[in-house]
Chains A and B, each alone.
Chain A
Amino acid sequence: DAGVIQSPRHEVTEMGQEVTLRCKPISGHDYLFWYRQTMMRGLELLIYFNNNVPIDDSGMPEDRFSAKMPNASFSTLKIQPSEPRDSAVYFCASSPQLHSYEQYFGPGTRLTVT
C-alpha cells in the first residue's frame, strides 16, 4: 500500500482565497483524521470520520473550515476564506480500527496564506 496520500504538498495562497486540501487514506481503514500543526499550538485534531461519517468536529476552529468524506477513499478539508493565521501544516491520518490504535499519517500539506 502507498500509505496515506495528501495533496498538494505545498500550497501558497492569498488571504481571502479558498483552499482545498485532499487526502486518500489507506484502503480498508475505517477512521480518518485531520490534524493541524503549528509551532504555537502543536498538533491539534480538527475532525475525524468513521466510515465516512464525521464523528467529532469540535476541533474545527471556525465556520471557515469544513471537511467532507464523500467515500471511503477520499476526504477534503476546505478553508473559505483563508486567513494568514491558517498557515500551518495539515496532516491527514487513517486508522484501521478503533481510533486509539495506530494512526498512519500522510506527509502533510504545508499551507502558507499571505
Chain B
Amino acid sequence: AQSVTQPDIHITVSEGASLELRCNYSYGATPYLFWYVQSPGQGLQLLLKYFSGDTLVQGIKGFEAEFKRSQSSFNLRKPSVHWSDAAEYFCAVALNRDDKIIFGKGTRLHILP
C-alpha cells in the first residue's frame, strides 16, 4: 500500500532562515503529490501540488517543492521563513486522480524570533 512519511515531527528555524521539510513516499509509480498547511485552529490549506511535468513546483506563500523520482521524495522549501509560517505541514499522496489522498503525520514548524 502506498504511504507517505514525514521523518521530522518538529522543526525549529529562525525567522529569515531557509527551510526544507522532508517527505518520502513509497509507491512504484509516480503518484500525485501535495503539500498542505494547517495554521493553529484552522483547517488544512493546499500549498502546492504535483501531477506531472516540471519537477520544481511553485506554490502559494513563497513555498516550492521539488519532486525527485530517484529518491521518492517531494521536499518542501522556502528561502526565508516568516513568523507567520509557524504551522503544521502535511505532505500527501494519491495514486492517481481518482484515488483518495493519504496524508503524512505532519511536521510542526516553529519559528524563532
Contact = CB atoms under 8 A, between A and B. Distances in A.
Asked if A pairs with B, the answer is yes
A4 B43 contact: yes
B44 A100 contact: no
A14 interface: no
Interface residues of B: mostly helix, strand, loop or mixed? loop
Given A42-B105, A42-B106, A43-B90, A99 B100 contact: yes
Interface string B6-40: 00000000000000000000000000100000000
B46 A100 contact: no
Contacts, number: 48
A49 interface: no
Instruction: Give the bracket for the number of chain B residues in contact with chain A.
Output: 20 to 34
B98 A48 contact: no
Interface residues of A, number: 19
Contacts of A91: 43-44
Interface string B80-101: 0000000000100010111111
Given A4-B43, A106-B43, A100 B96 contact: yes
Nearest to B99: A100
B43 A100 contact: no
Interface of B: 32, 41-46, 49, 90, 94, 96-101, 103-106
What are the nearest 9 A-B pairs in CB distance?
A: A105-B43, A100-B94, A42-B105, A43-B103, A105-B44, A102-B46, A100-B97, A98-B97, A106-B43
